[in-house]
Chain A
Amino acid sequence: MATIAVPLEAQAEQHEAEAVRRPALSEYLRWSVDHKIIGVQYGVASFLFFLVGGAMAMGIRLELWTPTLDLMVSGSAYNSLFTMHGTIMIFLFIIPMWAAFGNFVVPLQLGAKDMAFPWLNAFAFWLIPPAAIVILLGYFVTPAEAGWTSYPPLSTLFSGDGQTLWALGAHLLGISSIMGSINFIVTILNMRPPQMTVWRMPLLCWAVLATSIIAVMATPFLAGALTLLLLDRVAGTTFFDAAGGGDVLLWQNIFWFYSHPAVYIMVLPGMGVLSEVLSIHCRKPVFGYRMVGLSSMGIAFVGFTVWAHHMFTSLQPELRIPFMITTMIIAVPTGIKMFSWLGTIWGGKMRFTSALLFALGFMSMFVIGGITGVMLAALPFDIHVHDTYFVVSHFHFVLFGGSVFAIYAALYHWFPKVTGRMMNERLGRIHFAFTYFGFLFTFFPMHIVGMLGMPRRVAVYDPNFTEWNQLISFAAFVLGFSTFIVVYNVIHSYFHGPVAGANPWRALTLEWATTSPPPVTNFADDPIPFEDPYGYGTEASVAYLEAVEAAFDGGRPGS
């Protein structure tokens, strides 16, 4: 029944000489076509941008401590601050961060030696630094101040050169994203071992596949929108200028046709991570594997039909209803995932590792983002809260309560594989507690100020909301502080963490059937995956895990 043993032992022998040798730090600073190096490059770079964007968020909350303008010199300065915050967090943190985990983990889970196009992979990464430099430089000339959504004519007729640089930078990042996604699609569809049918693929691969399909289909629309914006700004065209026959809604349509699916680009890989982490740390198969995999595809598909709900207050009234319906429908596949995860942990043997805590935190917070998502889909209610702090709250529940919690879960889960060292679990739990409560008290009250009448993107607000905002700002500072804990934990564990061994979580997927960190070619031979990536609790799986442990002499229990 268990189809293992021989190839694993062969590998282990062959790897003995070079096993557990970590790449020198200088290798991460150079051009490399090794997917593991590139994954770390993506990860470290995007985490640095997370710190920059987070510092900007702290500036935003400091400004909002009082209802008047005090920290910032002008409303424009505040506008450019949150414009950069949004741009950095979306384009330079979350999207490339998923490329980091995708790069490192997906080829290993497939038992492949690298991505399908290693050179393209490196090129996609190396587009990010110049793009970031262009965008950040824009902040120091006349900065973009039209928000990350950059609605014309504010972003065309009424903005300075920083807006042009913003568009150029976003263009480069779009190209990077398309190239990375093509690579993932080809890798996942072609480089699986013969025994691994799509229905035996780990769910992270399913999620990355769905994400990459979205990215390849949607990102060209961003490129189109940005091209038109650039032409309007520098070449005198009037695509978005009504005086020249243009239409401002053209931008909104094209932009959201990319940017709504982009939300799923940012959250679907997190859902894949969740399926992995919950199953492994609760020692139970993923409940309803097929439905979880298919619901990723369902979300990807329906996600393309909902974009205009971002335009409920500007769209012609008769077009609003169809988008309300499609938006509500997307709750169904999302609900399937949520209930399947509950089914996965129900009756399991939960190990409260930091990775599992963040995965549970994701479920607990993301459900709020889902509920408010359905509320926002309800057109008459949306009209009231559109463009208010209710929306700010909603998308932070999705993108922080969702994506960032999943990124942390992934970090604690795969750090041992990447570095060969375990992270400090006690610090991880402290980090989780600060993040969870800091996050909850930062973003939950935003629903209320939004409903009471506070629009988003304002530095000056009704003094009646001062107390709410001070509560939010205080919690935001706690949340900001929590980041230092994980930064310390990562650096400290990299040098001083206990040695992890090949399979510290006793997981069945293939990335754990090699040394930590894996050798340059990942596997000596073509590895044979266990028959069921989540088949915990069977005698065969126990035998397989014992074989892995014996082969690498390093498998040890998690915590």
Chain B
Amino acid sequence: MENNRSNIPSISPAAVVVTAIFLLVSVIGINWFTTFVPQILPEQASAESKSVDELFYILVIIGGVVFFLIQGMLLVSVIFFRARDDDRSDGPTYHGNPLLELIWTIIPSLVVVYLAVISFNVWNQNSEPKAAVNMIDGAETVIRVTGARYAWTHNYETSRLNPEGAPIVINSGDKLHTYIGQNVDLELRTQDVIHSYWVPAMRVKQDLLPGDPEAGGRPTEIRFTPVRVDGVEYPAEYPIVCAELCGDGHGRMRGTVVVYEDEAQFMAEFYEPAIHAILNPPADPVLRGEIVIQEYICNSCHTLDSLGWSSRTGPSMNGIADRAGERVAGQSAEEYIAISVWNAQAFVVPGYNEQMAVFGPDQTDANKMSAEQLYAIVAYLCTQGEQSDCDNENNTVAIPEAIKTAFGLEVDITFGQGDDEAESATSETDDEAGESEQDNAETSDASQ
């Protein structure tokens, strides 16, 4: 057997031809694949997405070479080294070639070093802290994101002040509003389990980690800068997805990034209307309630046809006003609803578990709720039924004693003209100065 002596077993000229054809196919294939790549990635909506995708192209090209090389050699082997059925002989006794082995140790090592270096560069470039973040109206703004099973809440701590002199906080629910060129820098906190904030179009993702609530949680950070995408009408919307398993509703824990064309459009379509709505809430508590209830994450678990909610984790709220008065003996419908919203553990509907969080002035971020907001919600839910059991005259709401104690209230709440009085009645424990003033901040979701 001559093959024993030659360094590389000889192959027929046909094999050389096939190899050549295969190489050609590979080059065309890789080339075709890189043109196909933009279709298998979302839009490049951030500055980061461009460098990440460039890195991916390089990975695909190198990976493609390896892929075609190995599949090609397999194919050549399968075609040319097949033993005939009557051939019982063995192949050449060829134990290896140190030079070849050295080559296929060193070349992959060099490739790996190259990939590590370019990945490191992209990472460095993308994770470098930016100077002016979340610029709105010429000032840096803190944007807090809260993940709670199973919804996102975004809070903007603005530079505008309310009549009491505290910063106005805009709660934009599951929507993040931003504009092209804004250096977005979000502070992420979770209220329960680990979530992961992923915006596929921005190529960014960061886990939200549970921390000690007394230490203000364990904030993590995510940064990106939206850029213009050709052929898109602004404001453009991109999904936010929860990427870490968080329980029953993980799949529907979604949100939206709304990107405006420039700061002017952002101000006109989102910011100013939101501030305006906060400073001038509707006098009618029902209308207010309809706005307020959508700032909270009720929709992540409950069904309510009038607002298009369809989740089944918690009990349905359709027709709640008809049932609420009969749930607990001696308790009015309003009282039942109010206590249920504030502290759901008080009455758990049979067949459901005790998952719902507590809401109130002493809670943080997404669970923070003023007495006013609570009663706007009660007023709104009292309209959800054929013949409401609620007694809601004169825009005044009677308050159960338990809630008065919990919210530090002394008088009942009056809406409309008596607004200012009502607000001064809510005496809060001010441990986080400024932030707690967010109670007063009513919100509207400009995009809805």
Contact = CB atoms under 8 A, between A and B. Distances in A.
A358 to B, nearest CB: 13
B273 interface: no
A130 to B, nearest CB: 28
B204 interface: yes
A342 B192 contact: no
Interface in A61-93: 74-76, 79
A154 interface: yes
Given A331-B112, A332-B108, A451-B41, A321 B123 contact: yes
A378 B200 contact: no
Q: 7 closest Cβ contacts across the A-B interface? A: A347-B9, A458-B251, A460-B251, A453-B200, A284-B91, A537-B93, A349-B83
Contacts of B127: 317
A448 B245 contact: no
Given A340-B101, A375-B59, A75 B249 contact: yes
B95 interface: yes
Interface in B117-133: 119-120, 122-123, 126-127
Contacts of B214: 243
A284 B3 CA distance: 12
A287 B96 contact: yes
B115 interface: yes
Contact of B77 (A325, A346, A351): A346
**Chain A contact residues: helix, strand, loop or mixed:** helix
A453 B241 contact: yes
Contact of A76 (B89, B115, B248): B248
B122 A153 contact: no
B67 A367 contact: yes
Contacts of A285: 93-96
Contacts of B247: 75-76, 79, 145, 154, 158
Contacts of A455: 198, 241-243
A471 to B, nearest CB: 14
Interface residues on A, range: 35 or more
Contacts of B234: none
Interface in B203-253: 203-207, 209-214, 218, 239, 241-252
30 contacts: A75-B248, A79-B250, A145-B247, A147-B245, A153-B194, A158-B247, A242-B211, A245-B212, A282-B81, A283-B89, A285-B96, A288-B95, A325-B116, A328-B115, A331-B112, A335-B105, A347-B8, A348-B77, A349-B81, A349-B89, A349-B91, A374-B115, A380-B123, A384-B204, A386-B196, A453-B198, A456-B243, A458-B250, A536-B91, A537-B91
A289 B96 CA distance: 8
B82 interface: yes
Nearest to B221: A317
A460 B252 contact: yes
B112 A374 contact: yes
A512 to B, nearest CB: 15
Contacts of B246: 154
B250 A380 contact: no
Contacts of A157: 192-193
A248 B56 contact: no
Given A364-B71, A384-B200, A451-B40, A332 B250 contact: no
Interface string A98-133: 000000000000000000000000000000000000
B5 interface: no
A136 interface: no
A178 interface: no
B282 interface: no
A335 B101 CA distance: 10
A351 B89 CA distance: 11
A457 interface: yes
Contacts of B14: none
Interface string A213-256: 00000000000000000000000000000110100110000000
B32 interface: no
Contacts of B108: 331-332, 335
Interface in A501-559: 535-538, 541-542, 557
Given A147-B245, A151-B194, A249 B82 contact: no
Interface of B: 1, 3-4, 8-11, 40-42, 48, 51-52, 55-56, 59, 63, 66-67, 70-71, 73-74, 77-78, 81-83, 87-97, 100-101, 104-105, 108-109, 112, 115-116, 119-120, 122-123, 126-127, 192-194, 196, 198, 200-201, 203-207, 209-214, 218, 239, 241-252, 312-313
Contacts of A378: 55, 59, 115, 119
A284 to B, nearest CB: 4
A301 interface: no
A154 B193 contact: yes
Contacts of A461: 251
A459 B313 CA distance: 14
Interface string A376-392: 01111101101110000
Nearest to B254: A462
B92 A537 contact: yes
A246 B209 CA distance: 12
B42 A350 contact: no
Contacts of A340: 96, 101
Contacts of A45: none
A293 B334 CA distance: 75
B22 to A, nearest CB: 14
A332 B89 CA distance: 34
Nearest to A371: B63
A387 B198 CA distance: 10
A321 B93 contact: no
A321 B83 contact: no
B251 A75 contact: yes
Nearest to B208: A314
A368 B244 CA distance: 25
A380 B50 CA distance: 11
Contact of A343 (B56, B100, B122, B210): B100
B92 A284 contact: yes
A153 B74 contact: no
A231 to B, nearest CB: 18
Contacts of A134: none
A535 B101 CA distance: 19
Contacts of B218: 242
A537 B1 contact: yes
A248 B204 CA distance: 22
